């Protein structure tokens, strides 16, 4: 084998060794308790595919709220507001939602996709919650009304 081919192989091995821990974190499921500990007191952006976009906040007392719209427009005025009682159940987080047509409790597995981005549900059918430092002014104003 040529020296250049061995060098390429070495770089691929190093790249794989560096990348693998990152991929493990992305695919690693969290317990519901761990997820709620990370999210307690945090503001977030909510994205459910191209269908729903919004902002919200988890409090430290087992509840959360969100203001959202059924589109991917980040700057549009939210159409709906909802709140939920939140609890952990093994590798899932369960939401008892108020303010929507949904009745009862919804439980979903949670994974950390990347630093400060969590997936509730499956890869094909779920919502992403991205932790942000503060809510945008148009949401802050809406919430304080």
pLDDT in tens, 91-129: 999 999 988 777 789 999 999 999 999 999 988 889 999
Residue 108: which H helix or E strand, with range? Answer: strand 105-114
The pTM for the full model equals 0.73
Question: Which long-range CB contacts under 8 A does 93-100 form with residues at least 24 apart?
Answer: 93/32, 93/35, 93/36, 93/120, 94/32, 95/64
Mean pLDDT confidence for 73-93: 84
Residue 16 tokens read as 């794989």
Q: What is the pLDDT of residue 121?
A: 92
Beta partners for residue 97, in sequence order: 84
**For residue 72, is pLDDT > 70?**
no
Mean pLDDT confidence for 55-72: 90
């Amino acid at each position: 084998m040529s020296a250049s081919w061995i060098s390429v192989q070495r770089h691929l091995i190093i790249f794989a060794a560096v990348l693998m821990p990152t991929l493990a974190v992305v695919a690693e499921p969290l317990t519901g308790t761990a997820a709620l500990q990370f999210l307690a007191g945090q503001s977030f952006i909510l994205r459910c595919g191209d269908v729903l976009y919004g902002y919200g906040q988890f409090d430290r007392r087992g509840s959360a709220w969100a203001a959202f719209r059924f589109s991917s427009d980040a700057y549009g005025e939210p159409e709906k507001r909802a709140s939920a009682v939140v609890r952990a159940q093994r590798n899932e987080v369960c939401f008892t939602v108020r303010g929507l047509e949904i009745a009862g409790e919804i439980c979903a597995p949670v994974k950390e996709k990347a630093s400060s981005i969590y997936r509730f549900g499956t890869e094909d059918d779920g919502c992403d919650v991205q932790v942000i430092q503060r809510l945008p002014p148009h949401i802050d104003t809406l919430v304080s009304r």
